[in-house]
Amino acid sequence: MNKAALFSQIQQKSSFLCVGLDADMDKIPAHLKSEKDPIFSFCRQIIEETADFAVAYKPNIAFFEALGPQGWETLQKVLEVIPKEIFTIADAKRGDIGNTSKLYAKAFFEKMDFDSVTVAPYMGADSVTPFLEFEDKWVILLALTSNAGSMDFQLINDSEGKPLYQTVLEKSQSWGSDENIMYVVGATRGELIGEVRKVVPNHFFLVPGVGAQGGSLSEVAKYGMNSSCGLLVNSSRGIIYASPEKDFAKVARFEAEKLQIEMKELLDKYL
């Protein structure tokens, strides 16, 4: 999917919501566990109920890998029930020496037909560029993540006072463009989102951290929105585990709609 198609969907749905599919056997409702493929059943129902409000889905690959070989089959089935016009993100956080990255890219872009994959930047250009050789596919590079540990490296300043995440943003711009690179920027980062936006004014950000991690959607929009929205804001647990009962999918729909209503207001305000 290209940037224009993504923005057009954001406008049509008045939403920049990404629903995170962190489907955990220990957390899905008990009644699903007797089904043949409980994780597929859970994800399918979440997708069916939230697709009106979501412009992206982000299966976190760890939750599928943890199921062993069956998990990869489940992931493929989940990918197939996501409506074609909705952007898909393999949250896999890959990246390795060039020939290995090439095969990771093949796995997510050819064997499975994801629109994008999250990639760690720390092995440098040759670990990222193999992912950029696929038309209308995206790399989502970890820049300023939402977790406390982001302080350990990403916020360390160099001798000129520049934080490492900023070097990642600056350097990676020569590897691709705002048509094939997005950046992960945590919703928990507040004003720093504005600092990221200054360095990369036109790129989309994938923003995890609203909902369960407590990030503020209004701050994300205030500091991060650009003229083509430029934001995909993810919520996983806040939507998919909003109810542990049989009504989980309906309650997920309600939570997704709540976020979409807030997003519409923010789009009207800033766009």
Ligand X SMILES: O=c1ccn([C@@H]2O[C@H](COP(=O)(O)O)[C@@H](O)[C@H]2O)c(=O)[nH]1
Q: What is the contact surface with ligand X in residues (CB under 6 A)?
A: 20, 22, 60, 91, 145-147, 184, 186, 208-209, 211-213, 234-238
CA distance 231 to 196: 12
The minimum distance between CB 62 and ligand X, in angstroms, equals 7
**Dihedrals phi, psi of 241, to nearest 5 degrees:** -110, 25
For residue 17 the two structure tokens come to 């919501």
The minimum distance between CB 79 and ligand X, in angstroms, equals 16
The minimum distance between CB 30 and ligand X, in angstroms, equals 20
The minimum distance between CB 111 and ligand X, in angstroms, equals 22
Using the minimum distance from each CB to ligand X, give the nearer residue, 98 or 195.
195
Give the position of tokens 């976020």: 259
CA distance 65 to 151: 28
For residue 183 the two structure tokens come to 């950046």
Task: Please say if 84 is a catalytic residue.
Answer: no
Catalytic residue among 77, 93, 222, 258: 93
What's the first-to-final CA gap in the chain, in angstroms? 22
Alpha-carbon distance values, 262 to 186, 203, 259 (Å): 18, 22, 5
Using the minimum distance from each CB to ligand X, give the nearer residue, 40 or 57.
57
CA distance 88 to 17: 12
Residue 80 contacts by C-beta under 8 Å, 6 or more apart in sequence? Answer: none
Using the minimum distance from each CB to ligand X, give the nearer residue, 49 or 91.
91
Using the minimum distance from each CB to ligand X, give the nearer residue, 102 or 258.
258
The minimum distance between CB 152 and ligand X, in angstroms, equals 13
Q: Spell out a b/e string for 96-115, using b for 16 or more CB atoms within 10 Å of the CB, else e.
A: beeeebeebbebbbeebebb
Point out the residue whose Cβ comes nearest to ligand X. Answer: 145
Using the minimum distance from each CB to ligand X, give the nearer residue, 130 or 238.
238
Active site residues: 93
